[in-house]
Chain A
Amino acid sequence: MAWLLEILKAAALAVLIFTFLAVVGAMYGVYLERKISGWIQARIGPKHVGPYGLLQTVADTVKLLQKEHITPRRADALIFNTAPLIVAVAALLDWVVIPFGTGFGRVLVVRDINIGVLYFAAMASITVIGILAAGWASNNKYALLGGLRSASQMISYEIPLALGILWVAMIAGTLSTVGIVEAQRGGWFLFKVPPLGLLAAVLFLAAATAEVNRVPFDLPEAESELVAGYFAEYTGMRFALFQLGEYGEMFGMAALASVLFLGGWLEPNLPVWVWAALGVAALATAAYVRFSALRTVYLLRPITALAVLGAVLCGVMILGAVLGRSPVLPSLIWFFAKMFALVFFLMWMRWTYPRLRLDQLLNLSWKVLLPAGLLNLLLTGFLLTVAR
């Protein structure tokens, strides 16, 4: 009987996480991306469907539901249909180990697997199989070439990703994600062993961006290059499944980066005067942008909103510190704030960096990130054992 109860609980959690991933990750990820790219290019982005264009991606999904599925001639139909499933399910499986916060007296994580981060790296490596299968099964020269190039890029960046994770496992002494976040109560790993923490974070973020095929590493599916790479032949909902997989993976990588380096759901325990200084700085920028000559510039208007929001946050933190409440804000807010900050950073990078050529991209991984990761491991190992 206990098995059945456990399976039902797992199925309920799976449906919950999947809808969160599909709705927040895929639908509003695409919406966020279009809004941010609009803002960066001084245009508005979707705003007609629903309030502020919030229902735009919902409309897209419904439209996709009635698009015809075209399978190319002599393509391997079985593999052609299972490839998007592999990519989407692998993105969903990443979320089993990510801790969202603390609530109801326990850590809000689906299951705290003992080898958490290794499990995450293993799930990321399964996506490559889906991409190769998609490239092969669509019987199209460009799709096959795109699949091979995308697969070779993703496998080249799996090693720096693993080295970034290893650095964190070394400092935390455990592989479980909840253990890693608990180990960061003293201080975020970003600032641990000062220069090396930052190096490991940059290493991990670069590898994560390449793992998710986002600019500046999205050459395989570049429009100018290969006619949308491995999903050239996919139409309608199957293409949406690839998008679900890609955005789910991106949100998963952003969540893991915040767990590994920014202390997951932990609240930054800065002294009160630091919060006060931050608040004043935020208010100053908001006032400057609002009342100086810049107010006519449409592009900077969201900056005032963000700055005011930052000032309000600092105010709340100061108030909380004065009243002595240790966790001032609930932990979920900190987790989602960090995750969306990293997602914003990933989307921001898309419109600021040129696309890397494939050989530059592979050279960066094998000749820069890999040696840097290995030296980082050895140096931290030296500092932690021999030098102490």
Chain B
Amino acid sequence: MGELAAFTILSALMLVPAVIVVTSRNIVRSALSLVPTFLGVTGFYIMLHAEYVAGIQVLIYAGAITVLILFVIMLTEGGSGTMVRQVTGQVPLGAMAAIWLAFLILVTLSRTTWPVARGELPSYSVQAIGTAFLTNYVLIFEVTSLVLLISLVGAIVIARREE
């Protein structure tokens, strides 16, 4: 019983700010309401015993990406961001497309039978993730650093105009 209560609280903590992110007229308010959404998602990771992913989610999403988004909002929009119309003309169209996609996914979800594992579910640890990264997924590990390098160099080239 308690787990279901926790689940509903967390989904409320996540979905209400998510609606604000998507519909708020003030761009900074929608950026700041990203943070409770990410903390709600962190709560889900905790219920799924993925503790390291939850810590990283708080550190990177709530701490780095939201700061980056806030920086760009402050640098580009300045004052006009809050008074200007935020939505394009196709709101009903977009809403229909999103609802239709949600309906489609939910139907397929309910149809398929997921091979849920039985029995006691083990808990995870940072050591397991570290060993996985350094032994089974070494290629992903090294290629991700290349992706990071390329995105860093690319972003600097794009953002900085050659004076």
Other CB < 8 Å A-B pairs besides A2-B2, A121-B59, A136-B28, 19 of them?
A79-B28, A79-B29, A115-B52, A115-B55, A122-B55, A122-B59, A125-B58, A125-B62, A125-B67, A126-B35, A126-B63, A128-B67, A129-B35, A132-B70, A132-B71, A133-B32, A144-B74, A151-B71, A175-B126
Residues of chain B contacted by A129 (CB below 8 angstroms) = 32, 35, 62-63, 66-67, 70
Interface residues on B, range: 20 to 34
Which parts of A76-91 form the interface with B (CB within 8 Å)? 76, 78-79
Which parts of B102-118 form the interface with A (CB within 8 Å)? none
| A158, B67: Cα distance in complex, Å | 13
Residues of chain B contacted by A114 (CB below 8 angstroms) = 51, 125-126
Q: Mark each residue of chain A from 143 to 159: 1 if its CB lies under 8 Å from any CB of chain B, else 0.
A: 01000100100010010
B26 within 8 A of A: yes
User: Do most interface residues of chain B lie in helix, strand or loop, or is the interface mixed?
Assistant: helix
Check A115/B51 contact, CB under 8 A, given A79-B28, A136-B28, A148-B71: yes
Give, as a whole number of angstroms, the nearest-CB distance from A116 to chain B: 10
How many residue pairs bridge A and B at CB < 8 Å?
69
| A137, B29: Cα distance in complex, Å | 10
Residues of chain A contacted by B74 (CB below 8 angstroms) = 132, 136, 144, 148
A118 within 8 A of B: yes
Q: Are A118 and B59 in contact (CB under 8 A)?
A: yes
Q: Are B63 and A125 in contact (CB under 8 A)?
A: yes
Residues of chain B contacted by A151 (CB below 8 angstroms) = 67, 71
Q: Mark each residue of chain B from 70 to 85: 1 if its CB lies under 8 Å from any CB of chain A, else 0.
A: 1100100000000000
Quick one: which of A78, A115, A132 contacts B126, CB cutoff 8 A? A115
| A125, B67: Cα distance in complex, Å | 9
User: Do most interface residues of chain A lie in helix, strand or loop, or is the interface mixed?
Assistant: helix
| A115, B70: Cα distance in complex, Å | 28
B64 within 8 A of A: yes
Residues of chain B contacted by A175 (CB below 8 angstroms) = 126
Which parts of A144-182 form the interface with B (CB within 8 Å)? 144, 148, 151, 155, 158, 175
The number of chain A residues with a CB under 8 A from chain B is 26
Q: Which 6 A-B pairs have the closest CB atoms?
A: A125-B63, A3-B2, A122-B58, A122-B59, A118-B55, A115-B55
Q: Are B52 and A118 in contact (CB under 8 A)?
A: yes
Q: Are B67 and A155 in contact (CB under 8 A)?
A: yes
Residues of chain A contacted by B55 (CB below 8 angstroms) = 115, 118-119, 122
Give, as a whole number of angstroms, the nearest-CB distance from A194 to chain B: 27
| A155, B26: Cα distance in complex, Å | 25
Residues of chain B contacted by A115 (CB below 8 angstroms) = 51-52, 55, 126
Give, as a whole number of angstroms, the nearest-CB distance from B5 to chain A: 8
Give, as a whole number of angstroms, the nearest-CB distance from B75 to chain A: 9
Give, as a whole number of angstroms, the nearest-CB distance from B47 to chain A: 13
Residues of chain B contacted by A78 (CB below 8 angstroms) = 29
Residues of chain B contacted by A3 (CB below 8 angstroms) = 2, 5
Q: Are B29 and A76 in contact (CB under 8 A)?
A: yes
Give, as a whole number of angstroms, the nearest-CB distance from A174 to chain B: 8
Residues of chain A contacted by B58 (CB below 8 angstroms) = 119, 122-123, 125-126
| A151, B75: Cα distance in complex, Å | 13
Residues of chain A contacted by B35 (CB below 8 angstroms) = 126, 129
Q: What residue in chain A is nearest B64 (Cβ atoms)?
A: A125
Residues of chain B contacted by A133 (CB below 8 angstroms) = 28, 32, 70
| A122, B74: Cα distance in complex, Å | 23
